[in-house]
Amino acid sequence: MSEFFKSTTEKYFLKLDPRTKIFALVVINLLAFSLVPLYITIFLIFIPFFCLLLSNKEKIAFIFILLFFIAKLIEIYLIPVTHGLINGLLIMFSSVIVRMGPGIIMGYYVLTTTKVSEFMASMNRMKIPESISIPISVLFRYFPTIIEEIRAIKDAMKMRRIGSDLKSLLNPLRLLEYIFVPLLINAVKTGEELSAASLTRGLSNPISRTNICQIGFGISDFLILIVSIIGLIIFVLYIIGGISIA
């Protein structure tokens, strides 16, 4: 599972500048958490879908778009005609997938296809303060490490037969305690270790750093930026009432 979140040096067909990825991520989250009409949601699904598809992550891309369409159909056709507990469960499922799914998938794409050196180089070109860029750069190593810690906790519980027998399943609160307490401790410890590692590598050095990674805007960057800007403009016009809803 750790490899699932790990950024690699694999050659991708689609090579985007980190600044393009971050801008698209912000636009997608802005649209996703707003009550936008159906045709605007096209921008929510096809940007991360094609980014994943062209980055050797076809399985994740097709799973995402399938779940999104299922959740959207549930939101349109099933939620208005259901009631009670079933209606609440359907609302919860569709809301998580439709509102949070695009941002999570785009964030996954950013984390797994962006190196820390590329991110820091792009932030330096934008003159972003290091008090902002360094904590964000730590996240690129934080999530894969946390996934590895979760895997270690599961292995330790399996060795002690916790969660695999009926007795432990009858006490779910204690089972959650066995999972979340070590996870929270490891999360705090991991954050401190990664922050110290970033500082020892000279990320906080006030002198301008050199790097050998190649960043810059290409044709694919301009295409993604144009699509993102068009989606943002349509969203703004929809908010202020400048366009009608079909």
Q: What are 173-211's pLDDT values in tens digits? A: 777 777 888 888 888 888 788 777 767 766 666 666 677
The residue type found at 103 is G
- Predicted confidence (pLDDT) per residue in 129-165, tens digit: 877 877 787 777 777 788 888 888 888 888 877 766 6
| Residue 43 counted as domain residue | yes
Residues 32, 100 within the same domain: yes
Residue 232's pLDDT is what?
83
Residue 19 belongs to what domain range?
Answer: 15-114+216-246
Rounded CA-CA distance 76/72 in Å is 6
pLDDT of 152 reads 86
Q: Are residues 22 and 66 in the same domain?
A: yes
Query: How far apart, in whole angstroms, are the C-alpha atoms of residue 170 and residue 36?
Result: 43
In this structure, is residue 6 part of a structural domain? no
Same domain, 81 and 149: no
Residue (of 26, 73, 65, 70) closest to 49 by Cα position: 65
Average confidence score pLDDT of the chain? 79
Whether residues 39 and 153 fall in one domain: no
User: What digits encode the pLDDT tens for the residues 188-198?
Assistant: 888 788 777 76
What CA–CA distance (Å, rounded) separates 146 from 236? 37
- Are 109 and 223 in the same domain? yes
* Residue 4 resides in a domain: no
Same domain, 60 and 175: no
Q: Is 141 in the same domain as 110?
A: no
144 contacts 108 by C-beta, under 8 angstroms: no
